Structure 1
Amino acid sequence: MPGMMDTVLNLGLNDTIVEGLAKQAGNERFALDCYRRLLQMFGDVVLGIEHDEFEHEIVMLKKKAGVKFDCELGADHLRELVSRYKEVYARNRLELPQDPWEQLRMGIDAVFRSWNIPRAVKYREINKISGLKGTAVNVQAMVYGNYNSGNGASGTGVLFTRNPATGEDRLYGEFLMDAQGEDVVAGIRTPTPIAEMKVLMPEIYRELHDTVKGLEVHMKDMQDTEFTVQDGRLFMLQTRNGKRTGAAALRIAIEMERQGLVTADEAVLMVEPRHLDQLLHPMFVSEKAYQRDVVAKGLAASPGAAVGKIVFTAEAAEEAAKAGEHVILCRTETSPEDVGGMHAAEGILTSRGGMTSHAAVVARGWGKPCVCGCEALQIDEKRGVMTVVATHQEFKAGAYISINGATGEVIKGAKPVQKPSAESGDLATFMKWVDARRRLKVLTNADTPEDAKVAITNGAQGIGLCRTEHMFFATAQRIAAVRRMIAAVELNSPQADEALAELQGYQTQDFEGLFRAMDGKPVTIRLLDPPLHEFLPQAEESGACGACGSALGRLCDQLAPELGVEPAAVQAKLEALKECNPMLGLRGCRLGVLHPDITRMQADITGASAGC
């Protein structure tokens, strides 16, 4: 559960110990930096003081000092910041315990409590993690990436042993000089690519490279590691199997098998079903066509195309998704509290943060397009406005944008997308391994000849379910034909045969296409099973047919002349079909019992088409 549980760093400092730490390190600024970090994190995580109260104080101090980043504040500034943070405690009628053991006890309790905070619960729900009773708490000594005695470099970083977006076999990550680990993942500063460590700290880079590659061999999987360099000495903080996109998962599994690091059996288990699903996500029809509408460019954090309306909060993203809308979640930076909205959104855009920030890591794990660290944009979540800094162009909530997670481009408007080709050398190799090991026949759900062709290309051995009612959703003409059929058979109209004949033409064409695509493979067809609410507009509570202007009224006015009856008769009959529970209603065999001509028509089609 990366980033979901709470953490308390620098624990154990107090007004006395901070002075001793400054003397021991020979660096007052370092000690005060650690103390202000403890005050902020302990107040937020353990005591429940709003994070924004601390953030306001440091923003105001940086403005006063005329600096942009936290690391530019000097010792005098940090001593003032410590005082300001203590005032935040006082305003909330709280104080930092001066007893380190009491800090430890309270910190442990806070981490245990964080098992049930909303973001952790939501993460387990989304990732289907269940059956666990709780968590353990790690207590360990600190190493300091913000330590600087003048004898060596210090910094911290996050590193993947392979590219988690593409699977390329080279180190992929970022680091920050004079920082602690939280600074990298929180996106407070835009970090430096890991490749630049070769120049800044060549010996440390070689040691880091050899260490993480050794971890990869031992763990038999791509590793996501965190490290700190304290005064010229490398410390490994943690390692875990890295989250990755579908394309990366496939490439990593294939290449690690070729390199002899895993067996084919182990490689198959490294690729999850959702990874293969990601390979079928939409891509832009033409990247050249939209270039004039590119308004900004950030870091290409997670590939794929996403198009949707702008929302600025996780809650707005979840509400929009429930309403069936496609949205892009735009944030200055994401935090674990945003996971629900991130999951609901089509894509994620942030103005701060690097390739290993929270937004980037979570988006890649879910296969969602993500552009992060887009400093050309200013995102004001409170006002609900995103501004392009260079041109002052504004985008408000509800405006359409597109993002390209493979290039980092942010594009004005909704751009056309298409599904990528499912044919790939690596995919073909992987599916051969899978086919050699599976014991199940794989059938597809397909309702159109086009879907059937795609399924066959992807190795389906037949159609397990063809829902004939879905064949009529493709065009307005087909929906209109179903409506005429429903009205005609309900009214026992002479036009019923004509309506059924029109449907028969559509279905004959579709069934022939399905059977040709399947080429003798089994096809299971479900006869017309329409939830009527999907085909008929809903009646309004008041108003007469036609005159009220309701969608149902207009439909009755349209159908009446075709059926040779009064509009009122059509409306009365259609309103009688109202279903309290559409999942019961006239589903399946009951429709055929009431209107056997429909079942007879479909049986004739399938029999004739199968002989094509």
Structure 2
Amino acid sequence: MLGGKGANLAEMASIGLPVPPGFTISTAMCTRYYDEGGAFPDSVRAEVAEGLAHIEGITGKLFGDAVNPLLVSVRSGARASMPGMMDTVLNLGLNDETVAGLAQGSGDERFAWDSYRRFIQMYSDVVLELDHGAFEEALEIAKEDKGVHLDTDLSADDWKALVTVYKGLVEDQWGKPFPQDVHEQLWGAVGAVFGSWQSERAKVYRRLNDIPGSWGTAVNVQAMVFGNMGDTSATGVAFTRDPSKGDRAYYGEFLINAQGEDVVAGIRTPQYLTKAAKDEAGAKAPSMEEAMPVVYAELAKVFDLLETHYRDMQDIEFTVQEGKLWMLQTRSGKRTAKAALKIAVDMASEGLITEEEAIGRVDPLALDQLLHPTLDPEAPRDVVAKGLPASPGAASGLIVFDAETAEQRAERGDSVILVRVETSPEDIHGMHAAKGILTARGGMTSHAAVVARGMGRPCVSGAGTLAIEGKAKRMRVGSGSSAREFKEGDVITIDGSTGEVMAGEVATVQPELAGDFGTLMVWADKVRRLKVRANAETPLDCQTARDFGAEGIGLCRTEHMFFEAGRITAVRQMILAETEKGRRAALDKLLPEQRADFAAIFAIMAGLPVTIRLLDPPLHEFLPHEEAEFQEVANATGLSVEALKQRASELHEFNPMLGHRGCRLGVTYPEIYEMQARAIFEAACDVAEQSGAAPIPEVMVPLVATARELELMKAVIDGAAQAVFAEKGRTLDYLVGTMIELPRAALRAGEIAEVGAFFSFGTNDLTQTTLGVSRDDAARFLGAYVEQGIYAKDPFVSLDVEGVGELIEIAAERGRKARPGIKLGICGEHGGDPASIAFCEKTGLDYVSASPYRVPIARLAAAQAALKVKS
């Protein structure tokens, strides 16, 4: 009800921390606001009046009073943290009369008029939705006219003049004077904050982070405290631990004589919180520890209190008003995967949380940040600039200067680096599309840095030597004869761990997965029940999977092996042959190649189960298309090109994905599956002989719809096995089962289980056949379906539990009834999705199978799922 910000403000107040008085309008009003067309019921207006009276009673100030005015902030606060995505209005309650009272009461005319110009600028942007750039331009002109660079160099008279300019801009653009009624201001701001829940950037953020649109946001109204009241005042953002690396060190930035938006927006370059951080960065400006030692010591105590209270790393906003510390927010801090691992493991070691809680503290999908290559330290680097290491990791890509271009180029398959003077919440879609983010302004807690860390994108911020001209689509470094210019489309590399910006692409190295990663994986493996296998068919992928902890191969797609240049002609010869004799002649050429493929896999996975799917794809995928390809097959078979073209025409299918593929190939051409089965068993016997560790082949028949299909294919496989065992003089354990990827197979699973020893749910095709949606074409409309709530998530990314999931549950139940102890797993892409893994745990499947780089993700997700079921 209160949202994260409101709940944590209330909790901080309850444990005795200095929190400005205020009240929260609950999330329920957000939905009601939209239902009632943007109107506020009288009951809510009455409660807000009570809330204002509550603040007035504590502060001794009156809202709208010309002598002793109360000013408030109006801020959002959703259940889940959404940094920078929704709107805020500060200094609300100022008008032409109350500004004089603020000046007199504070004894600082400059501060009062600075606050008034800030309020007009922010209110005009957030509530009136006027052109923000016009106000920025007016401010820059005012500074140029005075010959100064910083806002703090402008006087009270300068601010008065700018307020007049701002009010003129409002009247020109809005057609009415800036609102002077403070109650009109308040309700306008409350409506705008509720309205920002449905802003495009908030929708994108929710979609990327699986936050339901039905939750809504709360609105928090608080008495203003001022960080812009001179050199004894300040504002800052801090983390109780390093959110990039996870080190147990205070991490943050502050600005003297500023308000909070100045820090997070990156308008001024902030100063470091601690002396150690300042010295490490080689910064000249004093740290807060040096400039405000008494307040810093108080803040450090608050850090420790909050971290102990919440038992997690906290992201804190604070203001110092004339030497007094005020806490404005605390929340669990966004962190990189590396930091999440270290913080979780460290906190468990410190006794702050348990090992099981540590497992739950790391987002499995965030591990993806750690599982891919980083820059090779030995590779040559052409460093052209250096900024702040705002979010670790490295990325190379084409320079783009706006979010729309980033999204368009990424959709075409390009790797891009989004380069901006500073990012804003409107850039969220481009930041997500980009491989990395580079900004000229902003600090370690700027919008770009916080959002990039949450997304796992490398980010270099505050690279002040860059001159970025977004409209001209170019970036310059340096000046004079040594200046270098980069245009849109040029390749650069950024290293978010060092802050370096490099021309061109820099080579990478594989990550090392030890230390905290290894520790957490050991803890996860202790509690998970589900086994984790990999989808792999090359020796490299198999080795990668085993290194990442895979407990076998859950899907080896044999058709991938047939596309290699040295084999494709023999495959085409087999397909285009009109007789069994012709097909067997081609298969004889393929047998030794297949045997070698399987031997390489079995050697790596020795002692572990390996599920091999027999040939599955539509025949048209292998057919020749070019004249030269037909000629190659003609040379191999002795047939004419014309005859081969005629045969290819005969094999044409209108809907090949539902055509002559899978077990249907085996039924009509059993010699194909016979060759593959022979290759499997010959390779398995050879590896068992050489290594002494027998592999466990699990031969999977694809696209089965009836028990009879599997019965026919099992006879072919068993026959090949017995023949090989007789020739080799040894036997091996093996299983024959099927991939359940058709609704009929799920419904008739009891009959099929009487023949097959295992089911592997092929959730990619099962989703296609259940929903009647082509995965290859669905991208055109599934985004709209998710946006409009038809599906909660893309069903090809996260399992459709209500539809496809129910079929899996039916098949599992009927399969177990017919064959107690039947082995059950999934091998579609859903095997690496944490939500789908949670479903598999709940359903009692035996294993999930994921792509090699997602094996650690699946291990952690399986542990979290087991703990959830246990609780």
TM-score past 0.5 threshold: yes
Aligned partner letter, 2:672 = I
Structure 2 SS opposite 1:355: coil
Tell me what 1:607 maps to.
Answer: 681
C-alpha spacing 1:11/1:608, structure 2 compared with 1 (3 Å): same
Tell me what 1:46 maps to.
Answer: 127
Aligned partner letter, 1:400 = V
Counterpart selection for 1:64 from 142, 145, 152: 145
Tell me what 1:234 maps to.
Answer: 325
Deviation per CA, 1:365-416: give whole Å up to 9, x if none: 1211111111121222212112213443222222211111111111111222
1:427 lines up with 2:517 in the alignment: yes
Give, in angstroms, the shift of residue 161 of structure 1.
Answer: 0.5
Q: What is the alpha-carbon distance in structure 1 between the residues aligned to residue 556 and residue 527 of structure 2?
A: 27
Q: What is the alpha-carbon distance in structure 1 between the residues aligned to residue 404 and residue 653 of structure 2?
A: 32
Q: What is the alpha-carbon distance in structure 1 between the residues aligned to residue 618 and residue 154 of structure 2?
A: 65
Give, in angstroms, the shift of residue 234 of structure 1.
Answer: 0.9
1:254 lines up with 2:341 in the alignment: no
Structure 1 SS opposite 2:426: helix
Q: What is the alpha-carbon distance in structure 1 between the residues aligned to residue 487 and residue 374 of structure 2?
A: 25
Give, in angstroms, the shift of residue 496 of structure 1.
Answer: 5.6
C-alpha spacing 1:136/1:443, structure 2 compared with 1 (3 Å): same
Tell me what 1:383 maps to.
Answer: 472
Tell me what 2:227 maps to.
Answer: 145
Give, in angstroms, the shift of residue 124 of structure 1.
Answer: 0.7
Counterpart selection for 2:385 from 272, 296, 311: 296
Counterparts of 1:127-276 in structure 2 under 5 Å?
Answer: 127-130=209-212, 132-148=214-230, 153-195=232-274, 196-276=287-367
1:436 lines up with 2:522 in the alignment: no
Deviation per CA, 1:217-245: give whole Å up to 9, x if none: 00000000011111111111100001111
1:486 lines up with 2:544 in the alignment: no
Q: What is the alpha-carbon distance in structure 2 between the residues aligned to residue 162 and residue 82 of structure 1?
A: 41
Deviation per CA, 1:46-76: give whole Å up to 9, x if none: 1111211212211222222222222222222
Tell me what 2:155 maps to.
Answer: 74
Tell me what 2:745 maps to.
Answer: none
Tell me what 2:180 maps to.
Answer: 98
Give, in angstroms, the shift of residue 173 of structure 1.
Answer: 0.8
* Contact 2:573–2:586, Cα closer than 8 Å, also in 1: no
C-alpha spacing 1:153/1:111, structure 2 compared with 1 (3 Å): same
Structure 2 SS opposite 1:157: strand
Give, in angstroms, the shift of residue 561 of structure 1.
Answer: 4.0
Tell me what 2:436 maps to.
Answer: 347
Counterparts of 1:99-114 in structure 2 under 5 Å?
Answer: 99-114=181-196
Tell me what 1:115 maps to.
Answer: 197
Structure 2 SS opposite 1:447: coil
* Contact 1:482–1:503, Cα closer than 8 Å, also in 2: no
Aligned partner letter, 1:468 = T
- The alignment of Structure 1 onto Structure 2 pairs a total of residues equal to 589
Structure 2 SS opposite 1:236: strand
* Contact 2:400–2:419, Cα closer than 8 Å, also in 1: yes
Counterpart selection for 2:557 from 467, 471, 477: 467
Q: What is the alpha-carbon distance in structure 1 between the residues aligned to residue 650 and residue 323 of structure 2?
A: 80
Shifted more, 378-387 versus 232-241: the winner is: 378-387
Structure 2 SS opposite 1:138: strand
* Contact 1:485–1:496, Cα closer than 8 Å, also in 2: no
Give, in angstroms, the shift of residue 158 of structure 1.
Answer: 0.7
Deviation per CA, 1:204-262: give whole Å up to 9, x if none: 11111110111000000000001111111111110000111111111111111111111
Q: What is the alpha-carbon distance in structure 1 between the residues aligned to residue 234 and residue 645 of structure 2?
A: 74
Tell me what 1:547 maps to.
Answer: none
* Contact 1:504–1:602, Cα closer than 8 Å, also in 2: yes
Give, in angstroms, the shift of residue 505 of structure 1.
Answer: 4.1
Shifted more, 492-501 versus 195-204: the winner is: 492-501
Q: What is the alpha-carbon distance in structure 1 between the residues aligned to residue 509 and residue 649 of structure 2?
A: 40
Q: What is the alpha-carbon distance in structure 1 between the residues aligned to residue 398 and residue 585 of structure 2?
A: 43
Structure 2 SS opposite 1:136: strand
Give, in angstroms, the shift of residue 24 of structure 1.
Answer: 1.4
Structure 2 SS opposite 1:432: helix
Structure 2: which 5+ residue stretches go unaligned?
1-81, 275-286, 688-871
Q: What is the alpha-carbon distance in structure 2 between the residues aligned to residue 162 and residue 255 of structure 1?
A: 11
Tell me what 1:545 maps to.
Answer: none
Q: What is the alpha-carbon distance in structure 2 between the residues aligned to residue 62 and residue 578 of structure 1?
A: 72
Give, in angstroms, the shift of residue 171 of structure 1.
Answer: 0.3
Counterpart selection for 1:372 from 461, 481, 499: 461
Q: Percent identity?
A: 53
Counterpart selection for 1:512 from 576, 599, 603: 599
C-alpha spacing 1:328/1:479, structure 2 compared with 1 (3 Å): farther
Aligned partner letter, 1:18 = V
Q: What is the alpha-carbon distance in structure 2 between the residues aligned to residue 590 and residue 453 of structure 1?
A: 32
Tell me what 2:397 maps to.
Answer: 308
Q: What is the alpha-carbon distance in structure 1 between the residues aligned to residue 171 and residue 364 of structure 2?
A: 52
* Contact 2:227–2:321, Cα closer than 8 Å, also in 1: yes
* Contact 2:201–2:425, Cα closer than 8 Å, also in 1: yes
1:588 lines up with 2:677 in the alignment: no
Aligned partner letter, 1:240 = R
Tell me what 2:537 maps to.
Answer: 447
Give, in angstroms, the shift of residue 609 of structure 1.
Answer: 1.5
Aligned partner letter, 2:89 = V
Q: What is the alpha-carbon distance in structure 2 between the residues aligned to residue 341 and residue 315 of structure 1?
A: 6
Q: What is the alpha-carbon distance in structure 2 between the residues aligned to residue 581 and residue 388 of structure 1?
A: 55
Q: What is the alpha-carbon distance in structure 1 between the residues aligned to residue 465 and residue 164 of structure 2?
A: 34
Give, in angstroms, the shift of residue 121 of structure 1.
Answer: 0.6
Q: What is the alpha-carbon distance in structure 1 between the residues aligned to residue 402 and residue 566 of structure 2?
A: 40
Q: What is the alpha-carbon distance in structure 1 between the residues aligned to residue 622 and residue 133 of structure 2?
A: 50
Aligned partner letter, 1:523 = V
* Contact 1:305–1:405, Cα closer than 8 Å, also in 2: yes
Structure 1: which 5+ residue stretches go unaligned?
540-551
Q: What is the alpha-carbon distance in structure 2 between the residues aligned to residue 580 and residue 282 of structure 1?
A: 42
C-alpha spacing 1:103/1:584, structure 2 compared with 1 (3 Å): same
Structure 2 SS opposite 1:153: coil
What's the TM-score, normalizing by structure 2? Answer: 0.64
1:523 lines up with 2:610 in the alignment: yes
Aligned partner letter, 1:527 = L
C-alpha spacing 1:396/1:16, structure 2 compared with 1 (3 Å): same
What's the TM-score, normalizing by structure 1? Answer: 0.91
Aligned partner letter, 1:158 = V
Rg bigger for which structure?
Answer: 2
* Contact 1:166–1:247, Cα closer than 8 Å, also in 2: yes
* Contact 1:488–1:563, Cα closer than 8 Å, also in 2: no
Give, in angstroms, the shift of residue 101 of structure 1.
Answer: 0.6
* Contact 1:487–1:574, Cα closer than 8 Å, also in 2: no
Tell me what 1:543 maps to.
Answer: none
Give, in angstroms, the shift of residue 140 of structure 1.
Answer: 0.6
* Contact 2:574–2:587, Cα closer than 8 Å, also in 1: no
Q: What is the alpha-carbon distance in structure 1 between the residues aligned to residue 288 and residue 470 of structure 2?
A: 35
Aligned partner letter, 1:462 = G
Aligned partner letter, 1:463 = I
